[in-house]
Chain A
């Protein structure tokens, strides 16, 4: 049943009779280990090397960055401060952060009740609502962007800011609703019923019983949404392009690259600075993200 009971018999065998059979088995296992790990190591190298090259280039001098050298002759850490002092860079950083944080908070707050209703309430049209949520998820934003843009620009005069991207998130995000709903389905109805027996109102049941139980699901949704906002390029390009003060890092990086097309070292430093927050967030939230959520079973 469990891994221990499964792996136990061969181990016992090995210790009991150390015949030639056991030795061959052992040798085969070692060879297998070497084969798997060397292939994995080689592949992992390919996945990591781009980061290494980007980093090495980011600390080169202007001249060396334009050569084919792979290793910096002298380390110019000042490239990073140059990037930071580029006009606009800190603004972009702040905008990205505002977009990602507000977007995440809004999405979670608005999607949890909807997901709860879809998962736990019984009402006419429940299935239809679910189908509509899923179809919203399938449609790419490109299809509806022009009418949306006209509304935001002409009715609300909000083009040139990130609000047209943030405000809709206060009204539920289909994908988050879907993920949360799937997660909430796993919470046994009995908990909710007993909360009601104890006199909890619907809202209190949600906040005191369901939300604490759904923490892993909420954490995953929040992270996905944070990454989505941080990485979003299409949205800021549509709504914020005309106002550099509203650019996000993703969008600003593009203009940075065009402005410093001969300074690969600076461009690479900026690139790393755009990547860094996401990767740092990942390392802090890894437990919730990969370990706790999707790969709990890896360790068997």
Chain B
């Protein structure tokens, strides 16, 4: 009656092996199964209806000619060939995406770590500084982008105005194809708050004793960073690297320029307002969409690190820890 889940599962299995049908054990096993199904049901429905089905449909449609009026018609690899060989925006879009992923992620991680380190060193007004660095991250991407379009606008923008004070002629930022990507990088570095928080959580995890020991050994600031902080921080870094931030929608707003077309926004462009429908993108070619996802696969991974930090901060109960680590009786994929 008062069996824990683990023991009940064990009992249920032994029941399944030996006991005849319709014993209390058997009934309990069925009840357990229904209970699991009941608790999982929201997600089971959500997963199949809002994930599995559309994913399969996307793959299916990528081999079809389909215009929403006539029934889909199998065309083999034609759509895929179109994407790779004829779609004029695909090449630049892929290149731009790669560029942004590499540069933006590198700079975001560098700045996130730098500012995280700085904030952990601050002794007076930590809260104030932390808030200052964190708040830009909260600004809704669209609002932040509109704000930056204003700040960086070449004619009256405050940034170029101030660059003028020191005798610099500012670039055209979003209006110049060769400066639009750096402008986006600037925008994404501004919203560094999430990475800062994650890095801080992890930096504060470094046992203080290790710094003390380094002090005793006469280590300087750099050595301490290189040999204590850096190795300690390492496991999370790979996870965080994927966390890209707010570029997605920013790209759409920031203005004209073919160079800015990212794969991710191609189909958005076609699906959005009618004005954008005129772009040379075929509605029945979801193949482009399949590719669109690739660089974004890691998008939310930074949150894994956050979850880790969260769990850590709340102090794992040793029992819970042991329970998780304990190999499941019977083994195998359960």
Contacts and interface: CB of A to CB of B under 8 A. Distances in A.
B324 to A, nearest CB: 6
B296 A147 contact: no
Interface stretch (A19-27, A77-85, A130-138): A130-138
B200 interface: yes
A37 interface: yes
B112 interface: no
Interface of B is mostly: helix
Contacts of B273: 237, 241
A171 interface: yes
B297 A234 contact: no
Contacts of A127: 333-334
A190 B155 CA distance: 66
A125 to B, nearest CB: 8
Contacts of B184: none
B47 interface: yes
Contacts of A179: 303, 306-307, 310
A267 interface: yes
Contact of A234 (B124, B128, B249, B324): B249
A132 B44 CA distance: 10
A-B pairs, top 7 by smallest CB distance, nearest first, are: A171-B46, A147-B57, A144-B54, A172-B43, A117-B39, A147-B54, A140-B296
B267 A142 contact: yes
Interface of A: 3, 6, 33, 36-37, 39-40, 43-44, 47-48, 50-51, 53-54, 57, 65-68, 70, 110-111, 113-114, 116-118, 120-129, 132-133, 136-140, 142-151, 154, 168, 170-175, 177-179, 182-183, 185-190, 192-193, 196-197, 202, 216-217, 220, 227, 230-231, 233-234, 237-238, 241, 249-251, 253-254, 257, 264, 267-268, 271-272, 274-275, 278-279, 282, 286, 290, 293-298
B291 to A, nearest CB: 9
A257 B135 CA distance: 23
Given A142-B296, A237-B273, 11 more contacts: A47-B132, A50-B151, A113-B39, A123-B32, A143-B289, A150-B68, A171-B43, A171-B49, A196-B4, A257-B253, A279-B135
A47 B119 CA distance: 14
20 contacts: A36-B122, A43-B118, A53-B151, A68-B156, A114-B42, A123-B33, A139-B55, A145-B271, A147-B61, A168-B46, A171-B42, A175-B300, A177-B43, A186-B315, A196-B2, A241-B272, A293-B313, A294-B198, A295-B200, A297-B313
Contacts of B4: 189, 193, 196
A234 B162 CA distance: 34
Interface of B: 2-6, 9, 32-33, 35-36, 39-40, 42-43, 45-47, 49-51, 53-55, 57-58, 61, 68, 115, 118-124, 126, 128-136, 138-144, 146-151, 155-156, 158, 161-162, 164, 190, 197-198, 200-201, 204-205, 208, 212, 248-249, 252-253, 264, 267-268, 271-273, 286, 289-290, 292-293, 296-301, 303, 306-311, 313-317, 319-320, 323-324, 328, 333-334
Contact of B310 (A173, A182, A238, A264): A182
A48 to B, nearest CB: 5
Contact of A140 (B146, B297, B307): B297
A297 B252 CA distance: 39
A231 B132 contact: no
A297 B54 contact: no
Contact of B319 (A54, A188, A278): A188
B139 A294 contact: no
B150 A231 contact: no
Given A168-B50, A250-B143, A40 B119 contact: yes
B204 A297 contact: yes
B129 A231 contact: no
Contacts of A50: 136, 147-148, 151, 190
B132 A48 contact: yes
B46 A282 contact: no
Nearest to A202: B35
A257 B146 contact: yes
A138 B298 contact: yes
Contact of A185 (B6, B54, B128, B324): B324
* Most-contacted residue by chain B among A50, A142, A146, A217 (CB, 10 A): A142
B297 A114 contact: no
Contacts of B208: 3, 6
A139 B293 contact: yes
Contacts of A53: 150-151, 158
Contacts of A39: 118
A140 B50 contact: no
B45 to A, nearest CB: 5
B115 A186 contact: no
A296 B300 CA distance: 22
Contacts of B205: 297
A171 B135 CA distance: 31
Given A121-B39, A294-B306, A216 B147 contact: no
Contacts of B155: 68
Contacts of B141: 231, 233, 250
B47 A183 contact: no
Nearest to B60: A147
A275 B143 contact: yes
* Most-contacted residue by chain B among A110, A140, A220, A268 (CB, 10 A): A140
Contacts of A268: 147, 150
A99 B317 CA distance: 37
